[in-house]
């Protein structure tokens, strides 16, 4: 009961700060974020919202996203929805306006303002048709991440038990639990694709289900018999998108009186035939090439590839281009059981952690920025790196570059071992940092895989720290930043809020479901 009250209290604290129930158009959540559709974002009291102890930061995107962290967000969301419904029932016409903003903390708030400006600039740059398409693709795969994580951890546990020879009567059951979702992932991709592109979700799932049906082995296309699952998630994505186009065409031309019979039939028939006699073969070829390319890249140039991927991942996130990697990760997991790219990309977060620690020591007089770092550092270790990026390193400028250097060094370390023949992969996407340990898998045993990944994190931490400590600040920057805040005495009546360490927490966007993210 105490925990339930805690999550309800969090929801109750958030609701008035986003403008009340009347300002809430939609409520959803992903792995770490409460995603709100708001009628008027000017009603949001952002500074007070960020000051809440349970809020790690906010992200302004197509929805207003409040970062609460894994586990917490899944418990706060239903409480938030209940409170919205209750408030609407009590006063459906009212939307409680926000109150006065909290007083600003001198230096950390200045950095936060710069971070907000960078968020706005990034959002404007990302509003291109190509990047909007990538965002829609991400929206298809992000809801699958919890199942990927759960099944991935069970797969790892099962592999450990099999290797140790323990519980032989249980391991087949664990294998079934771990593999069942992956065997049918195409259906879920099809369902989400149709939903994202404005079609009937169940029809998208029905067409995608053709791909995993065992009977496709009797169908011949391009001179060869198809294999169940051929084309995987890419085939499902294409098949469901085609189904949406066929369905929309039918809605325009089929008379309403027979629509319920004709539209679903034509949708499944036309898109199903195209899937069987075209898409499955083509998507299968593309999927195979993706797997071969990833393995070739790391086996022939692992250290160099890791250096580039680890160093450039955060800039890719800022440009919105990281979303193109989500189907690639999923394809690799579907083919090999794990993606070898994610552990390398996760090193970018390690570089940010090392850089933040260096900033903490270099700016030893700046209590405001140090509070920000202390509040955001542990989430950073667990792979939630946005508060450090947008609250510390990116607004400062040079520390962001040196943090990327740490990520590059960590990526090169992991990539080198891939090049030497030790694959280090993840059975799911989404987590990074320490949170990725339960999902690690590879071809040389769990112990060696964990050791390589841990070594990469250490290299990333040390690399980010040293690069930032020695090259992250000019003398002018140190003179301006390494000073105590102008006033340490907050004015009444907001003293409690102003002196709370939580007020220093800042954050901005990075996508759910990939490593920080």
Check if the beta carbon of residue 302 is closer than 8 Å to that of residue 419. Answer: yes
- Which of 30, 151, 250, 404 is flagged as catalytic? 30
Report which of residues 60 and 48 the model is more confident about. 48
Q: What gap in Å lies between CA 60 and CA 430, rounded to an integer? A: 20
- Residue 88 burial (CB < 10 Å; 0-12/13-18/19+)? middle
Of 135-139, 301-305, 498-502, the poorest mean pLDDT is in: 498-502
Q: What gap in Å lies between CA 415 and CA 410, rounded to an integer? A: 9
- Predicted TM-score (pTM) of the model is 0.74
Q: What gap in Å lies between CA 342 and CA 405, rounded to an integer? A: 18
What's the gap between Cα 447 and its chain centre?
Answer: 27
Segment 157-194, tens digit of pLDDT: 888 898 888 998 999 999 999 999 999 999 999 999 99
Mean per-residue pLDDT over the chain, rounded = 85
What percentage of the chain's residues is helix, strand, coil (to nearest 5)?
Answer: 70, 5, 25
Q: Computed over its alpha carbons, how large is the radius of gyration of the chain?
A: 24
Segment 78-94, tens digit of pLDDT: 899 999 988 888 764 44
Q: Which two tokens stand for residue 462?
A: 């040390």
Opening angle at CA 430, ends 326 and 192, nearest 5: 55
Q: Are strands 24-29 and 33-38 parallel, antiparallel or unpaired?
A: antiparallel
CA distances from residue 20 to 23, 45, 98, 363 in whole angstroms, order as listed: 6, 11, 8, 39
Check if the beta carbon of residue 17 is closer than 8 Å to that of residue 48. Answer: yes
Q: Could you give the angle at which helices 201-212 and 232-253 cross, rounded to 10 degrees?
A: 140
Segment 90-147, tens digit of pLDDT: 764 444 444 444 434 445 566 666 666 666 566 555 567 877 888 889 889 988 988 9
- Model pLDDT, residue 96: 43
Region of 104 please: left (phi>0), alpha (psi -120 to 50) or beta: beta
Neighbours of 100 (CB within 10 A): 9
Average pLDDT over residues 365-385: 87
Of 248-257, 319-328, 504-513, the poorest mean pLDDT is in: 504-513
- Model pLDDT, residue 83: 92
Average pLDDT over residues 465-492: 79
Q: Determine what percent of the chain is predicted with pLDDT higher than 70.
A: 85
Of 150-164, 213-227, 424-438, 500-514, the poorest mean pLDDT is in: 500-514
Cis bond upstream, residue 106 (ω within 30): no
Query: 404 an active-site residue?
Result: no
- Model pLDDT, residue 51: 85
Q: Which two tokens stand for residue 105?
A: 């903390």
Q: Could you give the angle at which helices 280-319 and 398-419 cross, rounded to 10 degrees?
A: 150
């Amino acid at each position: 009961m105490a925990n339930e009250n805690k999550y309800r209290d969090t929801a109750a604290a958030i609701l008035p700060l986003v403008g009340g129930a009347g300002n809430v158009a939609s409520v959803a959540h992903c792995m770490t974020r409460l995603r709100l559709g708001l009628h008027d974002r000017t009603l949001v009291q952002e500074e007070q919202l960020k000051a809440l102890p349970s809020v790690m930061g906010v992200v302004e995107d197509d929805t207003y996203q409040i970062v609460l962290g894994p586990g917490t967000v899944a418990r706060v969301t239903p409480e938030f929805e209940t409170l919205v419904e209750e408030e609407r029932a009590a006063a459906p016409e009212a939307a409680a306006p926000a109150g006065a903003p909290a007083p600003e903390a001198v230096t950390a708030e200045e950095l936060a303002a710069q971070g907000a400006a960078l968020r706005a600039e990034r959002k404007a740059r990302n509003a291109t048709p190509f990047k909007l398409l990538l965002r829609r693709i991400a929206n298809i795969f992000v809801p699958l991440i919890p199942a990927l994580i759960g099944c991935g951890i069970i797969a790892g546990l099962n592999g450990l038990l099999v290797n140790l020879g323990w519980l032989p009567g249980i391991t087949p059951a664990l294998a079934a639990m771990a593999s069942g979702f992956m065997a049918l992932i195409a259906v879920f991709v099809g369902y989400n694709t149709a939903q994202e592109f404005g079609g009937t979700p169940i029809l998208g799932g029905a067409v995608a289900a053709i791909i995993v049906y065992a009977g496709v082995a009797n169908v011949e296309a391009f001179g060869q018999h198809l294999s169940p699952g051929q084309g995987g998630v890419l085939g499902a994505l294409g098949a469901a998108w085609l189904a949406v186009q066929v369905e929309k065409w039918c809605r325009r031309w089929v008379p309403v009186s027979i629509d319920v019979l004709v539209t679903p039939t034509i949708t499944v028939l036309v898109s199903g035939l195209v899937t069987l006699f075209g898409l499955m073969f083509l998507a299968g070829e593309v999927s195979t090439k993706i797997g071969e390319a990833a393995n070739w890249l790391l086996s022939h140039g692992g250290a160099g590839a890791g250096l580039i991927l680890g160093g450039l991942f955060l800039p890719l996130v800022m440009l919105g281009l990281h979303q193109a990697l989500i189907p690639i990760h999923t394809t690799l997991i579907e083919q090999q059981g794990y993606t070898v790219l994610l552990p390398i990309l996760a090193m970018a977060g390690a570089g940010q952690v090392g850089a933040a620690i260096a900033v903490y020591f270099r700016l030893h007089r700046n209590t405001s920025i140090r509070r920000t770092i202390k509040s955001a550092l542990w989430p950073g270790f667990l792979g939630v790196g946005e508060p450090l990026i947008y609250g510390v390193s990116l607004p400062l400028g040079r520390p962001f570059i040196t943090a990327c250097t740490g990520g590059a060094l960590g990526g090169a370390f992991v990539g080198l071992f891939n090049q030497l023949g030790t694959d280090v992969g993840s059975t799911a996407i989404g987590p990074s940092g320490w949170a990725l340990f339960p999902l690690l898998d590879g071809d040389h045993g769990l112990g060696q895989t964990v050791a390589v990944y841990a070594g990469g994190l250490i290299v990333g931490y040390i690399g980010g720290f040293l690069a930032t400590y020695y090259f992250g600040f000019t003398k002018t920057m140190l003179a301006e930043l390494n000073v105590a805040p102008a006033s340490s005495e907050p004015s009444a009546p907001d003293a409690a809020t102003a002196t709370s360490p939580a007020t220093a927490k800042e954050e901005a966007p990075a996508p759910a479901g990939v490593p920080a993210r």
